[in-house]
Chains A and B, each alone.
Chain A
Amino acid sequence: NAGVMQNPRHLVRRRGQEARLRCSPMKGHSHVYWYRQLPEEGLKFMVYLQKENIIDESGMPKERFSAEFPKEGPSILRIQQVVRGDSAAYFCASSPLASTNTGELFFGEGSRLTVL
């Protein structure tokens, strides 16, 4: 199965620790998106990356959050000094092109972060 792979599926952190979430896009896809779903809410755009470039980070909180998509390896969403409000499901999606005709994103199964 060459779908979008996210790990870990579940991550528990204490307040003040760091969380690192990883995403490997579908084979052949060079565009990665990160979305966050808070309880009882929809998916909120965080950041869009291509290899080695952040294209749109308008949805990223100004502090403590960062994302990268290096030339080799998965995309990483990093949350420093986590707080309880960071508890959420974080979904990664990939696409082959930024402006495809279908506009379809392929989502991973998500990483659920719980901050104690």
Chain B
Amino acid sequence: DQQVKQNSPSLSVQEGRISILNCDYTNSMFDYFLWYKKYPAEGPTFLISISSIKDKNEDGRFTVFLNKSAKHLSLHIVPSQPGDSAVYFCAARSRDNFNKFYFGSGTKLNVKP
């Protein structure tokens, strides 16, 4: 039962343009969302997060948008850089269980120079 879904397995973007990675969820109890970035042969690293009380959080080139009514969040990277090429995982945590983070299947971003 996939409660966090990333329907695009891959995305290719030209350097300098915007990258938009999407994530959908099904559990209305989710109240905290995170994006992780993963390079090959490394563990995921935290990128940015957003609480359900907000609809936007920005950190430098990275912005996460949350649409609770649509149960959808997105990560915008602008401008995209070749070093951003990695797999991006969306994750969510439920307000009734802080222990468990649910991850999507990831989107592989390729930023072309």
**From DSSP, what is the main secondary structure of chain B's interface residues?**
strand
| CB–CB B106/A45 < 8 A | no
List the interface of chain A (C-beta within 8 A of B).
4, 6, 33, 35, 40-45, 48, 55-56, 58-59, 91, 93, 98-99, 102-110
Count of A-B contacts judged by CB separation below 8 Å: 62
Instruction: Decide: A98 and B43 in contact? CB cutoff 8 A.
Output: no
A42-B89, A104-B46, A105-B46 known; A35+B103 contact, CB < 8 A: yes
Residues of A within 8 A of B6 (CB): 42
Tier of interface size on chain B? 20 to 34
Partner of B41, one of A40, A59, A91, A109: A109
* Top 7 A-B pairs, shortest CB-CB distance: A107-B43, A42-B105, A43-B103, A99-B98, A56-B99, A42-B103, A48-B99
B residues apposed to A, CB below 8 Å:
4, 6, 9, 32, 34, 36, 41-46, 49, 89, 91, 93, 97-106
